Amino acid sequence: MKSKRNRITKWSILGVIALVVSIGYLFGTGNFASAEQTILVEEDFDNLEGMMPEGWSVIQGQASIEKGKLKLSSPSSSSPARVLVPLPDKNGNIIFEADMTFVSAVEDTRWASLMYRVQSTDYPYYQFAIRRGTTALNGAEFAERNAQNKWVVPEATFFTEKFEYNKPYRIKIIASNNRVQQFINNKLVINTDQATGLLNGDIGFQANGSTVLFDNVKVSTFDQELPPIENAGAFLPQEPETNIINAPTLIGQTLTAAESSNTASVLLEVEQNGAGELITNGMPLHEALAKVQNKHIPILQIETNGIESAIVDSLDAAQTTDIHIVSSHPEIVKTITNLMPTARGGIVYTKNSFNKHDLNELVRTVHANNAKVALIPEKLLDAKNVHYMHTRMVAVWGVGAEDESSAHALIHTGADGIITDNPAASIEALGKYPANTIVKRPIVAAHRGVPSLAPENTLVGYRLAYELGADQIETDLHLTKDGHVIVMHDTTVNRTTNGTGAVSDLTLDEIRQLDAGIKFSEEFAGEKVPTFKEFLQEFKGKDVILLVELKAIGIEEQVIREIEEEGMVDQVVLQSFDLGSMIDSFKLRPEIPVGYLYSAAVPATSSAKIKNAQKMMDYGTSHNVTLNASYGSTYEEFITYMRQRGMLTMHWTFRAEEPFRDKLAQGLIGPITDYMQWLTDSPTKLETPIKKINLKMGKTSTIQTKAFVNYRTAKKENIASELFIVEDNGVVTLNGNTIEAISPGTAQVFVKHTFTMLGTEWNVVGEPIEVIVKE
């Protein structure tokens, strides 16, 4: 039994007392702020067995005080339970908090809530609604019961932990005019400015299809301002202008470097001083976080074990959620991201070698430790190993670019980010490319093979996809009646074979008797439905990744076992529309990357688009999955948000050229398509014939502009290209293939090749030729 108090409810007549409120984010300092607040309600329900506190009323359903707690019982969604608590001061600017415990729920979609700004004795009102299944995308809501007695839900999100039964969670609301912040266990989950219609009123509690306990209720006035919503954490930092499609994001290697050139992100090396304070860039961490807030995305590099909890506490106090944690010690990344699941992870690579074994080990280490990014020195990177990691869903941030020449070299590796102490050099380099320049090779997944040219999900179709240069080959898996994993998209064999029936009702022998090619064309008569093992064996050791979609639920263990038996852990990526399936797969074999397939509406406004991108990024990160949305669910802000924060994504299913072209132009990196042939003859890289030319003033140099161009099919040929310079700096001029030296200095001259893909002209560009002019 808790300690007894001599009163039922503490009202404002007790006067103004000093409270210490954890609202450092409000001031951008990360410190605790002390403020004079008035306590309006404080109740722990002791000595109230069977009796409601004075003034509290049950306005609907069943509610009682039992064993020192307020208990609300609702047998169904049509019979909610509600308790109303009148406030002596109905000013709606309050802090409202309570412990909430689910005892039972009809299903995971059922919920309980803290109501606030309740009008009259019923509705309208706002509420912080929390579903029993809090990990769903609508697990936590800012909702309104409007004047028409209808639900409106302006904002919904998830919590990183599914609420357990009989476990209390601390729920808190801070409301200030139209601004509201809603917290679970002191973690900010909803931050909105949409509380515009109701500005005052009472509070209450509600249960809907659940039995819930409330305790330790506290309401106090809040007389400060919450920060403007534009400073609420969901933002796209400014980036330098460039014509490169899907250009690398810039990361300042220090706070000074980030501020000098306004990079998208900043690397902050954090350590703990003798006094136990977290320090970075010569200042306390909370000051650095406040300094970069809504300007740069912070990336914390932690190399000291034992400070993980302190890091998370500091981030929570500053309400910094848009954060990357990187380290050369994978266990540090894993520990922090387990403590703070929305924190993104990255592994700092420190070895001097970078062979295929090293690549595989790095990819495994990244995925197994809740990360999606590898930080690698520039000297170890080239286009081949960057693409190798991309196909295995690892983003690459290259460290270097000390001058413009090395910046160009790093850009041409296809790296997703450039970490540099001299961002001005990279900004200069990024500005020198022609329109529609492709540097980073898109990860193209052949959807069910090439169903536009061959029967889907057959070995003949898969072989054709490989011959056409697919980076990944996508397939679908079901389980037969006798427990064999086979390749099939539908739950039945009706559409793609000459048979009928559900896959789950047919044995493997029965399915093997079917013809999977005849319905497509007589040319493919006799094609069989492959087993998963046959699919794996066909491509074992070949330069292609298998993108495997689990259609059936509960087959995760068997699928992973068959992958392991074939020794192909490094050659498979898993995905599913069932998030639980991917969570289970990750637990079984975390080295295998997993993706969540989904489709969703595109928000209407730019700010809503960015906020939605933030929510989805946090959702994917907290479950260690990539966000493999339908391409119609994506939009430019989403694509940019993911790129800036190091998440590679695959998107389905392109069957028309126009959207394919438009999404590639926006920077989409992972198209899944039925038409692999549309990209087969598109070049992936241009190799410059010459690296440097020395000229004296007034002299000329005519060069052969034939360069080697590389295609997806491993074909390489010498092809006519052209020279260009982006701007006239007075050092050289071009006349066709002739470079003329005008004045002393250095200039970059590029070789480019223009090609047509998806009905549009694109450019591949070689690394620049450095022309040095002397007197």
Structure-token pair, residue 145: 């019961």
pLDDT tens per residue across span 308-321 = 999 999 999 888 99
pLDDT tens per residue across span 456-482 = 999 999 999 999 999 999 999 999 999
DSSP 659-681: HHHHHHHHT---EEES-THHHHT
Beta strands 738-741 and 187-192, pairing class: unpaired
Mean pLDDT within 71-98: 96
Name the band, by pLDDT with cuts 50, 70 and 90, for residue 100. very high
Name the band, by pLDDT with cuts 50, 70 and 90, for residue 705. low
Least confident of 162-166, 398-402, 735-739: 735-739
- Which residues are catalytic, by number? 447, 489
Tell me: pLDDT of 199 over 80: yes
Least confident of 317-326, 413-422, 512-521: 317-326
DSSP code for 528: P
DSSP 280-312: ETTEEHHHHHHHHTTTSEEEEEE--TT-HHHHH
CA distance 190 to 184: 10
Closest by CA position to 126, among listed 215, 61, 41, 194? 194
**Looking at per-residue confidence, does 474 or 28 come out higher?**
474
- With a pLDDT cut of 70, the percent of the chain lying above it is 95
Name the band, by pLDDT with cuts 50, 70 and 90, for residue 267. very high
Return the pLDDT at 710.
85
Beta-carbon count within 10 A of 80 CB? 21
Least confident of 10-14, 64-68, 104-108, 623-627: 10-14
Return the pLDDT at 120.
87
DSSP 405-469: HHHHHHHTTT-SEEEES-HHHHHHHHTT--TTEE-SPP--EEETS-TTTS-TTSHHHHHHHHHTT
Q: Facing residues of 734 across strands?
A: 739
Mean pLDDT within 150-168: 96
Spatial CB neighbours of 503, under 8 Å, sequence gap ≥ 6? 478, 479, 480, 486, 488, 490, 491, 492, 493, 511
CA distance 685 to 513: 45
Residue with tokens 């991309």: 390
Q: Degrees (nearest 5) of the Cα angle 722, 726, 728?
A: 115
Least confident of 248-262, 437-451, 723-737: 723-737
Structure-token pair, residue 650: 């695959």
Residue with tokens 């409330």: 214
pLDDT tens per residue across span 528-565 = 999 999 999 999 999 999 999 999 999 999 999 999 99
Structure-token pair, residue 216: 């330790």
Mean pLDDT within 600-610: 93
Q: Facing residues of 628 across strands?
A: 597
**Looking at per-residue confidence, does 349 or 720 come out higher?**
349
Return the pLDDT at 217.
98
Q: pTM higher than 0.85, yes or no?
A: yes
Name the band, by pLDDT with cuts 50, 70 and 90, for residue 707. confident
Tell me: pLDDT of 689 over 90: no
Yes or no: say if 265 and 258 are a contact pair by the CB < 8 Å rule.
yes
Coil/strand/helix, residue 562 = helix
Closest by CA position to 684, among listed 440, 470, 466, 472? 440
pLDDT tens per residue across span 126-144 = 999 999 999 999 999 999 9
Closest by CA position to 271, among listed 307, 297, 314? 307
DSSP code for 332: H
Return the pLDDT at 231.
62
Name the band, by pLDDT with cuts 50, 70 and 90, for residue 7. very low
Spatial CB neighbours of 384, under 8 Å, sequence gap ≥ 6? none
124 preceded by a cis bond (ω within 30 of 0): yes
Tell me: pLDDT of 574 over 50: yes
CA distance 742 to 194: 61
Tell me: pLDDT of 716 over 80: yes
Spatial CB neighbours of 223, under 8 Å, sequence gap ≥ 6? 35, 37, 93
pLDDT tens per residue across span 37-61 = 899 999 999 989 788 999 999 999 9
Tell me: pLDDT of 364 over 90: yes
pLDDT tens per residue across span 274-292 = 999 999 999 999 999 999 9
Average pLDDT, rounded, for the chain: 93
Return the pLDDT at 633.
97
Return the pLDDT at 729.
82
DSSP run (H or E) holding 567: none
Burial of residue 167 (number of CB atoms within 10 Å: 0-12, 13-18, 19+) = exposed
Return the pLDDT at 5.
36
Torsion on CA atoms 67, 86, 116, 1, rounded to nearest 10: -20
CA distance 747 to 768: 9
- With a pLDDT cut of 90, the percent of the chain lying above it is 86
Mean pLDDT within 394-401: 98
CA distance 272 to 302: 10
Yes or no: say if 754 and 676 are a contact pair by the CB < 8 Å rule.
no
Segment 190-196 long-range contacts (CB within 8 Å, at least 24 positions apart): 190/128, 190/140, 190/141, 190/142, 190/155, 190/157, 191/229, 191/232, 191/233, 192/142, 192/154, 192/155, 192/229, 193/228, 193/229, 194/142, 194/154, 194/155, 195/117, 195/126, 195/142
Tell me: pLDDT of 30 over 50: no
**Looking at per-residue confidence, does 707 or 244 come out higher?**
244
pLDDT tens per residue across span 626-665 = 999 999 999 999 999 999 999 999 999 999 999 999 999 9
Structure-token pair, residue 56: 């509290």
Name the band, by pLDDT with cuts 50, 70 and 90, for residue 588. very high
Closest by CA position to 456, among listed 474, 472, 478? 474
Give how far the C-alpha of residue 623 lies from the chain's centroid of Cα atoms, to the nearest Å: 10
